[in-house]
Amino acid sequence: MDQLDLLYRALVELKKTTTNNNETKLTLDVIRTTNANQEKIILTKYNCKIDLDWIEEIEKGLEFLDKAIKEDRQFITSEGEVIEIEKVKSVSKETVEHLARHSELITRETPGQDLTPDKLYSVKKLTDYTIYENRFLYMVLCYLRDFISIRNDKINEKVTTYKAETTINKVVSHKNQKLSFDLKVNDVKTEDPLMIERNPAKEILDRIDILLKNVLLLLKTPLMEEVAKAPMLRPPITKTNVLKMNKNFKAVLALYEFVSAYTKDGYEIEEYQEVTSPFNKDCGEDFSELILLSSFLTYEHSNKIKPQLQEEYDREELRIKALERKKFEEQIQKAKRMVEESKMRFEEYIVLLEQKNRLLEKDSILLEQSREQINDLNHEIKVLNEELKIVDHLKDQIEELNFKHNEEIISLNKEHLDSITKITEEHNDKLNAIYEEQQNKINELNKEWQLKYDNTIQEKQEELRRVEESHLEYCSRLRSEADAAILKAKDIEAQATEAINKYQNIVYEKRVLLAELNGIRRQYNLHEINEENYANEERFKELEEELKAFTKFFNEVWKKSKPIIRKRLFKENPYVPKIKK
């Protein structure tokens, strides 16, 4: 039984039970009519529009592709080699032609017999199915498989998807109960067969599925499985004579060009929603059953009353069966009376008896099953009792064995301890003897090595003293040479300083003289006679240095000459007033 049928049957049985009780039916009506505007089911659907151009083109091309594969095109190659005549199994035209060209293979001649060569040219003819045209067919099939699979998977992903959202929000006040119920269900199922069956594009989807299966079947043909072992062809395709002239291969080439140039999706999927709010009466009653059942389950499991409810359920079942049995017995008695009074036919009476027998048979079956279960349980109890006896016997044996084992362990421990003590004493005696012997050897070696150590220390100390004396002498000589070098370096430094000062003075005097010379030239308008290019950066910097040198020279000369000039001026003109500094 399908799961949907099973769940629907359970719902129908539940509704039969609840609607037979007026109080429960009234409660369900209150739940159904409360907050009806707060309940909603949103179903998401996909409307798929599939273009037929690529489907029809592939359907038409697959017919020619199948015929092209059935042509079973092949290429026969010949491979030959020269082998000993004993190994030659058959002789062909090529063998004779080769022997005619290579008479050196006849190396001996037997008088009175035909000429017999030592070796012959043997030819093997091999069949090759991996020709270019067959590899082209395999490539087209792979293109079609991918082309169809991609579109088929994307379309099926949408059209086989069930997506629904249910929202219920109810606050029910009825008699002495107030029930708040919030439900939000988001249910998504993929590959739902019901969605495919109800889809308007089912016929086209079946055609696409058939196309894909046909392509996969063609790929499984012996020729294509053999060609699949060869390297896959890659575009661009060379249009051989077979592809251009053969009717079947020409149609396959046209199909390949169509598929490779097809850039559209080939389908269009539109998503839309169907909203159900508020629920109709039938839907509202079904969800009311869910709400009432949820309330009951919460009450049952929170209070842990399932055992009591089960016990009451069993009693009620027994009561119902007893009532049914009593009712049938009353019917039978009534039937008897009616038969006796000739108011009822004997066949009707037999029918009632058969119905009673069926009830009795059901009870008998249940009783027999119960008896069998009781017998099985008694047998299990008997087996368990036997096993318990065996376990008790085994426990006694284990205790006895443990006692014996403990005594043996104590005895073995004692023997082991005595043995260990004896072995330890013997071992200690041997160790003491070995220790004394080794200690004597160590003392002798210590004395010998101590003597060698003292001699070595004395020799090394003497050698160290000689090295230290040589080192001190060498250091003294180096120190003297270093002092002489330092003095020499100081003299050279003083000479260099003096030379640098002289050079700086010369440069300074040169710059002063040049500045003075330029001033004289400027004074007597001689600068045009010996004009230099002062636009040069280096020459201009030199000119600046000359200006600084001459300014410094001027200030120094003025500082020294100023007192002399003043003194001579006052001496020649005593009436000139003196200016205080």
Is 62 part of any domain?
A: yes
- Strand, coil or helix: what is 190? coil
Q: With residue 96 as reference, give the H or E element that holds it.
A: helix 93-101
pLDDT at 128: 55
One domain, residues 137 and 123: no
Whether residue 542 lies inside any domain: the answer is no
271 and 198 fall within a common domain: yes
Q: Are 35 and 171 in contact (CB under 8 A)?
A: yes
Do both 274 and 202 map to the same domain? yes
Residue 342 lies in a domain: no
Q: Give a yes or no: residue 114 inside a domain.
A: yes
pTM: 0.47
pLDDT value of residue 127? 52
- Answer yes or no: do 180 and 124 share one domain: no
The reply to whether 229 falls in a domain is yes
* Residue 365: inside a domain: no
Cis preceding linkage at 577, omega within 30: no
62 and 168 fall within a common domain: yes
- State which of 261, 285, 309 marks the end of a domain: 285
106 shares its domain with 140: no
Q: What distance in Å separates the CA atoms of residue 241 and residue 409, rounded to the nearest whole number? A: 99
Distance CA 518, CA 73 (A): 109
Is residue 193 located within the same domain as residue 112? no
288 and 19 Cβ atoms separated by less than 8 Å: no
86 and 193 co-located in one domain: no
Q: Please tell me the predicted confidence (pLDDT) of residue 76.
A: 44
Instruction: Say yes or no: 92 and 189 in one domain.
Output: no
How many H-runs (helices) and E-runs (strands) does the chain carry? 14, 6
Query: Which of 232, 250, 285 is the last residue in one of the domains?
Result: 285
Task: Find, among 236, 75, 211, the residue nearest to 145 by Cα.
Answer: 211
pLDDT at 530: 44
Are 187 and 119 in the same domain?
Answer: no
| Cβ neighbours for 126, distance < 8 A, ≥ 6 positions apart | 76, 77, 78, 79
Q: Give CA–CA dist 20/240, Å, rounded.
A: 83
Quick one: how far is CA 508 from the chain centroid? Answer: 84
pLDDT in the model for residue 308: 84
Q: Tell me: the pLDDT tens digits for 347-382?
A: 666 666 677 667 776 767 767 766 777 777 777 777
Q: For residue 49, what are its two tokens?
A: 């529009």
Considering the domain boundaries, does residue 458 fall inside one? no
Q: Is 186 helix (H, G, I), strand (E, B) or coil?
A: strand
Which residues constitute the domain of residue 254?
Answer: 34-70+132-285
Domain identity same for 189 and 89: no
Q: What is the pLDDT of residues 413-431, one digit of tens each?
A: 777 777 777 877 787 788 7
103 plus 140 within the same structural domain: no
Regions in the chain scoring below 70 on pLDDT: 1, 73-81, 89-90, 99, 105-115, 118, 121-130, 335-353, 356-357, 361, 363, 366, 369-370, 394, 511, 519-536, 573-581
Whether residue 315 is contained in a domain is answered as no
Domain stops at, among 285, 310, 338:
285
Tokens at 536, concatenated: 């040069």
Q: Using CA atoms, how far apart are residues 215 and 59, in angstroms rounded to an integer?
A: 10
| Residue partners of 183: CB distance under 8 A and separation at least 6 | 166, 167, 168, 169, 290
Q: Which two tokens stand for residue 515?
A: 């500045």
